[in-house]
Structure 1
Amino acid sequence: MGQAEEPLLPDDPHSYSRAREVAVRHLSLDLEVDFESRSLAGSVRLDLDRHAPDASELVLDTWQLEVGDVTLGDGSRAAYELGEHDPLLGSPLRVRIGDADSVVVHYRTHPEARALQWLEAEQTSSGHPFLFTQSQAILARSWVPLQDSPAVRFSYDATVRVPPQLLALMSAGNPTARNGDGVHRFSMPQRVPSYLMALAVGDLEFRSTGPRSGVYAEPDVVDAAAWEFADTEQMIDAVQRRFGGYRWDRYDLLVAPASFPFGGMENPRLTFLTPTLLAGDRSLVSVVAHELAHSWSGNLVTNATWNDLWLNEGFTEYLETRIVEDVYGERFATMILQLYRQELLSALPRLDPRDTWLEQDLAGRDADDAAGPVAYHKGSLFLSMLEQVVGRERLDAFLTAYFDRYAFRSMDTPTFVGHLRAELLDPAGVTPEQVQLEAWLHGPGLPDNAPVWHSEAFADVDRAVEALVAGRVAAEVDVSGWSPHEWIHLLRALPDDPGAGLLADLDETFGLSESRNSEILFTWLRYAVESGHVFDSLRADRALADFLRRQGRIKFLRPLYTALVETDAGRARAREIYAVARPGYHAVAAGVVDRILDRS
């Protein structure tokens, strides 16, 4: 379990909590899920650790919560104050605790709580209502009053009451079937940060994929999902061999409705996934590898603040590619690595130079601004660079020991750098200057020692692109056996203005606008918008409108809407599509698109 050390509780610009004085160590929820009023109502008991002996006040984060009674552990009423609402942070709830070691808050959530998405029966494939949460980055405060900082970890238990025809699940130990009364009880004995608390309620069924893994989904999706993610147990074995044992008991997946705003969310014991991964050929399972890798990097050792997100996502992407290599081979992994590097190089010119540092400074900004290609791709490239310098065997040993030493704790960038120098660089005889450490952490762009990958498969694709641009018709290009990665590379390699004839030929020959693979379809539609082809092709335009209306994944929404608003015609089309699509988007996704359209 690693040696006991004092918790790392730095100042968090995105939390009111003063956890260095008093911190929550255990949380007990008792909630009723009311689909009619779109609210969660009940109470939460917070058990406390005092780090400052004279502390007399507990400060919690909230977001538009209706707070009722607040009591201390002995049942006496507590004096409390709900502060003014801040558009970024919500409101602090200050409770006078005296010498009490626990507090109970009775509350109800707002119908527009930012973490919660309430779906009507007609919005789901099962014909039953559905609720799911998305707590990252600082949205847990909109459904539970707590210390909403990734540096504060707590165990929890919960009693959740739902309509008896529905199943409730949490990021905890879960049932595999409904019960008769709709009362579900959960326990999460491992300490987790607030952003990893999750709840889902719907008409859900379970299928096993191995002794420690399985899939939950709506009835018409669950069998396809179990087939798509059948390699999950093999992935668990692969990462355990490399980086130490799995410490969360089970690893189950929940395929959420199409409005889920991310590819996946690594809630412990119950990763949430978008149904856009159900390609029917297991070609998009690297997302599962990524979310599984979070069980080590992120969930086990957590970024102390959102300024340090690269310690979470960069490490996770590195582990993801290692899992993919072990399970699917080096050829598959190399294509992914090259695509990730392409994405980073494409994004860097559009970013403020300060935002391309690994260690961020997000004071006064939305915590979600930390998530992006820098945290993921530059962070992962940093570890790949270290692998090239010290060797894979030495780096693997370092990471395994790191995950063990800091298990169930938080980490910030300065503390990690000290650990890196003492445990990896110095023993290997490598100086910080040799690896350009400062340039990676606090420098713009990508240092010149960043690894480069060259996929042989992509070299064949490049030759196909040259032939197409030279006038060869699409039907004469041999695409047999191509993976989605090769199609994505082809579309990225096309020139900015290839001519309407070539694009129409590609779409007609290969059915790009009807692709079942969400990544291929997204890449095609983005290219069709940026090249202007979508305004000349009814087929592409219909595919674009359908894609934006039937799923709410931010990875797809942000680039497509951003590309559309670059022209007057595109801006008008974006608003027309969004007027229909917005009611089906999660609040996080709707906020992203709102900002894009407001700026245009």
Structure 2
Amino acid sequence: MVLTGRRPPRRRVAVAVTALTSAIALGAAGCTGADRDMFRPGAADAGDPYVPGHGNGGYDVKNYHLDVRYDPATDRLTGRATITATATQDLSRFNLDLVGLQVGAVTVNGTRAEHRRDDGELVVTPPDGLSRGRPFTVAVDYAGVPTAVSDGALGSGGFLHTADGAVALGQPDSAATWFPVNDHPSDKASYELAVTVPDGLSALSNGVPGPKSSADGWTTWRWSERTPMASYLSTLVIGDYRVVTGSHAGQPMITAVAASLPATGGAAGSLARTGEIVDFLASRFGPYPFESYGGIVVADDRVAYALETQSRPVYGPAFFADDRPNPGVVAHELAHQWFGDSVSLTRWGDIWLNEGFASYAEWLWEEHDGGRTAQRNFELQYASTDWSQPSVEPGRERMFGAAVYKRGALAVHALRRTVGDATFFRILHTWTTERAAGSGTTADFVALAERVADRQLRPLFDAWLVGGAAPTLP
């Protein structure tokens, strides 16, 4: 995530809350009577204080299969979500996060299930309890006019209706505005998407493109992201776009720029460097972790940020204002493919693990591209940092503050200066390899760094990430 620096007015956050769980009856016949008494509801919250009410407990999602249809003329979305999951406890009922949309039928393992709405939660009660460790499938039919959500730091997100289509995007929440979901990064899953839109419009999303088909004035676009993805990294961009389809390193490369933006120059020229930037970052961080590449530049000024949506980041138009190139923001969002996307957060209080490394990648890229060295950027940032603000547990209101981004980057370079280049890059490679497609915490990273470096590093991280005074330069 990168902000343009413009802070939209603070608005009330629309909270998406729910909980998903596993379903399969106990044995072949299910559970009834006394057996049912041993089952209990899954938690309606992931327990993360930075996003109260988001996420759910009692199950682990494996895959989302989404089949949606969107008509920009009416702003109406209809969809069916088929979700496969595994129960992590004996479940009597479970929740899914879903904001605003109306729900029709809900089935669990092919059988009608009771359901009700509780604000942003869809509460599902299957006819039989779902046994711990067993897979289950829940299908939800839903429809309505999707809503946007607002965040004091980022402005508009969620499902945004635009002049020619829509943009579904946002951090920390957006997914629940257009499909039922366990909306917390601790529960990653693979995704398959089929989205049907009027002929002539593009429908862009994450992952590898599939075959398109058309009938009766509508076109269905298909996408597949097989590597586990956090829900906030999913995106759907619909409208009039200049789409460039190619390949890089034998994998699909899809970039797109809104047709209302210049055809050449800043946005298009910056996205054209995606492969070059990925190759450079791979030389520092390890192999690129996904099966496709790309990027999307939208024209909606409400998107005053860039977001690392998995395999295909989305950029707001202000990053390329006056048609100026901006490869630095591309480097930032592509670095997130390793730090934040492949290795995701277990909890939002550790968001520096995403933003500190992505900000440091900007310094690495600038040096590689003939600009200031990483050391010079480190010196300039060190001199201007407010050391009273911590990078770890910055507080909900400062999730996207300078301490998370810039102080986080300072800590990364301080680690490099302390352990030397060879050990430093071995630490990064080990983290992105051992934790690939998973998640981690600050404590996990410190422990790994100490193991690889074979020395104590906790005092270094404490000083650079959370200490209240300027640390001594290593």
Task: Give the counterpart letter for 1:166 in structure 2.
Answer: L
SS at match of 2:426: helix
Equivalent residues of 2:304, 2:318 under 8 A apart: no
**Overall identity of the aligned pairs, in %:** 27
Evaluate the alpha carbon distance shift between residue 222 and residue 281 of structure 1 in structure 2; reply closer, same or farther with a 3 A threshold: closer
- The structure that is strand-richer by fraction is 2
Residue among 134, 138, 163 paired with 2:169 = 134
Q: Which residue of 1 aligns with 2:36?
A: none
Kindly state the Cα deviation for residue 178 of structure 1 after the two structures are TM-superposed.
Answer: 9.1
Q: Tell me what 1:403 maps to.
A: 432
Q: Which residue of 2 aligns with 1:33?
A: 70
Does 2:240 match 1:203? yes
Q: 1:105 deviation in Å?
A: 1.3
CA deviations 1:220-249 (Å, max 9, x no partner) are 534333334333222111111121111212
Per the alignment, residue 443 of structure 2 pairs with 414
Measured after TM superposition, the shift of residue 259 of structure 1 is 1.5
Q: How does 1:416-431 map to 2 (within 5 A)?
A: 416-424=445-453, 427=454, 429-431=455-457
Give the structure 2 partner of residue 438 of structure 1.
462
In structure 1, the residue matched to 2:41 is none
> 1:159 aligned to 194, 197, 200, which one?
194
- Deviations along 1:491-522, whole A, 9 cap, x unmatched? xxxxxxxxxxxxxxxxxxxxxxxxxxxxxxxx
Letter in 2 for 1:432: R
Which residue does 1:289 correspond to in 2?
331
After TM superposition, the structure 1 = structure 2 runs for residues 353-372 of structure 1, keeping only pairs within 5 Å, are 356-360=389-393, 362=395, 365=396, 369-372=398-401
Alignment partner of 1:298: what SS? coil
More displaced 10-residue stretch of structure 1: 230-239 or 211-220: 211-220
Q: Could you say which residue in structure 1 is the equivalent of 2:315? A: 273
The 3-state SS of whatever aligns with 1:191 is strand
- The code of the aligned residue for 1:46 comes to I
Determine which structure has the larger helix proportion and give its number: 1
Match of 2:229 in 1: 192
Measure, in 1, the Cα distance between the counterparts of 2:308 and 2:213.
24
For residues 116 and 339 of structure 1, the distance between their equivalents in structure 2, rounded to whole angstroms, comes to 38
1:319-377 alpha-carbon deviations (Å, 9 max, x no partner): 23223322x135265665566556644xx6xxxx5xx2222175xx56xx411211111
What are the residue-to-residue correspondences of 1:196-235 with 2, within 5 Å? 196-207=233-244, 211=248, 213-219=253-259, 221-224=262-265, 225-235=267-277
Q: Kindly indicate whether the alpha-carbon contact (under 8 Å) linking 2:426 and 2:452 is maintained by their aligned counterparts in 1.
A: no
1:378 and 2:407 equivalent? Answer: yes
TM-score when normalising by structure 1: 0.63
Q: Quick one: structure 1 residues 381 and 313, their matched pair in 2 at CA, closer, same or farther if it must change by over 3 Å?
A: same
CA distance in 1, matches of 2:473, 2:172: 29
Aligned length: 409
Residues 24 and 299 of structure 1: is their aligned pair in 2 closer, same or farther, counting only changes over 3 Å? Answer: same
Shift in Å, 1:187: 1.1
In structure 1, C-alpha distance between the alignment counterparts of 2:220 and 2:344, rounded to whole Å: 32
Unaligned runs of 5+ in 1: 1-8, 121-128, 452-600
The answer for the alignment partner of 2:148 in structure 1 is 113
1:69, 1:231 → 2: CA distance? 46
| Candidates 389, 401, 411, aligned match of 2:418 | 389
Q: Which amino acid aligns with 1:64?
A: G
Does the CA-based 8 Å contact 1:82-1:92 persist in structure 2?
A: yes
Change (3 A) 1:78 1:361: farther
User: In structure 2, do the counterparts of structure 1 residues 27 and 62 end up closer, same or farther at CA, with 3 Å as the change threshold?
Assistant: same
- Any residues of structure 2 matched to 1:143-542 within 5 Å, and which? 143-174=178-209, 181-207=218-244, 211=248, 213-219=253-259, 221-224=262-265, 225-278=267-320, 283-326=325-368, 328-329=369-370, 331=372, 333=374, 337=378, 340-341=381-382, 344-345=385-386, 356-360=389-393, 362=395, 365=396, 369-424=398-453, 427=454, 429-433=455-459, 435=460, 437-444=461-468, 447-449=470-472
Amino acid in structure 2 at the alignment position of 1:117: L
Q: Distance in 1 between matches of 2:146 and 2:291?
A: 34
Which position in structure 2 is the counterpart of 1:50?
A: 87
Letter in 2 for 1:311: L
* Equivalent residue letter for 2:338: W
Supply the AA of the counterpart residue of 1:241. Answer: S
Structure 2 residues without counterparts, runs of 5 or longer? 1-44, 150-157
Distance 1:431 1:159 in 2: 47
> For the residues of structure 2 that align with 1:321 and 1:209, how far apart are their CA atoms?
28
Structure 1 residues 255 and 177: CA distance shift in structure 2, 3 A: farther
Matches of 1:273 and 1:412, distance apart in 2: 27
Contact persistence 2:299–2:316 (CA under 8 A): yes
Q: Distance in 2 between matches of 1:70 and 1:57?
A: 13
1:31 alignment partner, SS class = strand
| Matched residue, 1:518 | none
| AA matched with 2:259 | P
- Please say if 1:98 is aligned against 2:141: no
Q: 1:223 to 1:296 in 2, by over 3 A?
A: same
CA contact (8 A) 1:166 1:202 kept: yes
Question: How far apart are the structure 2 equivalents of 1:146 and 1:177?
Answer: 25
1:569 is matched with which residue? none
